[in-house]
Amino acid sequence: MTIGLDDIRRYPWLPSLKELYQNIAHMDRVEFVKYFFSKFEEENYKPRIINIFKASFENYERINDYTADELNVYIYPMLRILLEVLDKKRILNRIANLYSKHANYELEEDQIEILYHIAHDLSLDVKFYDEENALIIKKEYNKQDVRRDIKANFSIHFTDYLKLATYLHDRYRKLSHQSLIKGYVYLNRKGLARLLQEFVRNKMINIGSLERPNLAILKQELLTIEEFNELYELISQEWDNIKTDITPLDITFRKGENIKDLFPPCIREILNKADEQQNLIHNERLILVFFLLALNYPIEEITNIFSRLPDFDHGKTTYQIEFAKKKGYVPHSCDTIKSLKLCMAKKYNDEVCLKGYFAPSLSEQRQIKHPLSYVGLKKYRQQKKKSIQKQNGENSE
């Protein structure tokens, strides 16, 4: 069994699309868009495309009218072109999250063998084992204290595994926590589906090979196509509606005082991701909550930051932040953040993090060991600068 038409209709992001739909494989974007509108009726394509965008703006995890038909195959490249032209990172992230999560749902519902064929189509080095040959990789207790076997129906070469799993930053996906035998990581269906989900997300996020000037030309040309222009406007309108619900990210320590600039790179990185509505991993969420709570941030302010995330649930988030506050968790230290590979000192080339600071009383350079010390130091420097400026002002008078 290889990838057939039915599979491509369900999973149009597969490379086999080019082979099975050779007629569109070599079309340029404008050519494809024109062909799309000549082939399909507005009443069929419009609600489905708009629904995908609406669902992503509402942070849904499933596309409720997803239909594995011929139109679905054409919608996928159309989505990519629309995202390219819309040129908004936040929309791109939301669509990538929705589309990949939906793909995961389809993969978990489909026949188990299809995962093997999909992985193969993606040129991943994957092996499949039927129930009889599935390897027991783990013993686990369920909630009733009964031990059960975890079986692996798949194995994937560790280099392919690393390409997909490394950036999940999920402790459960860490290579050291996997069953690795003779170069292959053994996975159950859920594990492989999660990796494929990440593939879909990456593929969607990495669209846009065009340089800026070319993108502007493309946009101009596509917007002259009436149907495309209409879709573009509708989506932009939907986005504007939802955007008004999103308050701009403004971190305030005390009312009226913006201290976001005083935050260390690790925290700024997480806030930037939240701002771009990228999904945050578990540890990033914890680091941010404990850090902001330690700075006496109001719970509503923290909840607001999380409201941008794709999987936001107001009730759950507020409960968890309140719980963390009640427990009084200590914010993560630099060492812990480093061990979680979330230290961004090098990425931001932050001098304070990398070189430390000079403490005159100790006559030596001291390293920053905690994000809170970073804020303290920056605040001290800020205040000192202000007082010098004030003094200079007084002197010049």
Partner 1 sequence: MVKILSETKFLIRKFKDYYEKNLKNIPEVSSFSEREFAFIPWGDKFMKRHMGFSSIDFFKKLLTKNGPRHVYYSGALYKHPEVQHMEQKGYEQCDFLIDIDVDHFYTPCKVDHDYWFCKECFHNGSGIVNECKKCGSSKLKKLSWICKDCLNIAKNEIKKLIDNFLIPDFGINYEEMLIAFSGHRGYHLKIESEHLRNLNGDERREIVDYLTGENLDFEVLGLNKRRETVFGLSKESIGWSQKLIEEFERLLINRDELSKFLRTLDFKTSRPDFLINSFLNTTEILYEVINNKNYNEWSVEGFDINKWKIFLNGLASRVGAEIDEPVSIDTHRLIRYPSSLHGKTGFKVQELSIEELDDYNPLDESNPLLDPIVFQQEDVAIQLEITEENVPKTILKGTEFGPYVKGDISSFPSYMAIFLLCKQVAKPMSRY
Residues at the contact surface with partner 1, assessed by CB under 8 A:
135-141, 145, 147, 157-159, 162-163, 165-167, 171-172, 174-184, 186, 339, 341
Separation CA 76–CA 290 (nearest Å)? 40
Nearer to partner 1, 53 or 184 (CB): 184
Nearer to partner 1, 108 or 170 (CB): 170
Q: How far is the CB of 342 from partner 1 (least distance, A)?
A: 12
Residue pair 343/334 in contact by the 8 Å Cβ criterion: yes
Separation CA 43–CA 34 (nearest Å)? 17
Instruction: Compute CA distances 373 → 286, 334, 341, 370, whole Å.
Output: 18, 10, 19, 5
Q: How far is the CB of 314 from partner 1 (least distance, A)?
A: 29
Nearer to partner 1, 136 or 330 (CB): 136
Beta bridge partners of 359: 364
DSSP string, 292-341: HHHTT--HHHHHHHHTTSTT--HHHHHHHHHHHHHHTPPPPPHHHHHHTT
Going by the DSSP 8-state scheme, the letter that residue 27 receives in this structure is -
Beta bridge partners of 139: 149
Q: How far is the CB of 354 from partner 1 (least distance, A)?
A: 15
Nearer to partner 1, 179 or 373 (CB): 179
Hey, is 359 helix, strand or coil? strand
Q: How far is the CB of 174 from partner 1 (least distance, A)?
A: 7
Q: How far is the CB of 70 from partner 1 (least distance, A)?
A: 37
Q: How far is the CB of 172 from partner 1 (least distance, A)?
A: 6
Q: How far is the CB of 115 from partner 1 (least distance, A)?
A: 21
Nearer to partner 1, 15 or 183 (CB): 183
| Number of Cβ atoms within 10 Å of the Cβ of 196 | 23
Nearer to partner 1, 97 or 155 (CB): 155
Q: Residue 162: left (phi > 0), alpha (psi -120 to 50), or beta?
A: alpha
Instruction: Compute CA distances 137 → 85, 159, 317, 390, whole Å.
Output: 46, 19, 34, 67
Task: Please return the burial class of 385, using the count of CB atoms within 10 Å of its CB with bins 0-12, 13-18 and 19+.
Answer: exposed
Q: How far is the CB of 176 from partner 1 (least distance, A)?
A: 5
Nearer to partner 1, 172 or 380 (CB): 172
Residue pair 116/1 in contact by the 8 Å Cβ criterion: no
Residue pair 188/153 in contact by the 8 Å Cβ criterion: yes
Nearer to partner 1, 50 or 168 (CB): 168
Q: How far is the CB of 286 from partner 1 (least distance, A)?
A: 14
Nearer to partner 1, 7 or 269 (CB): 269
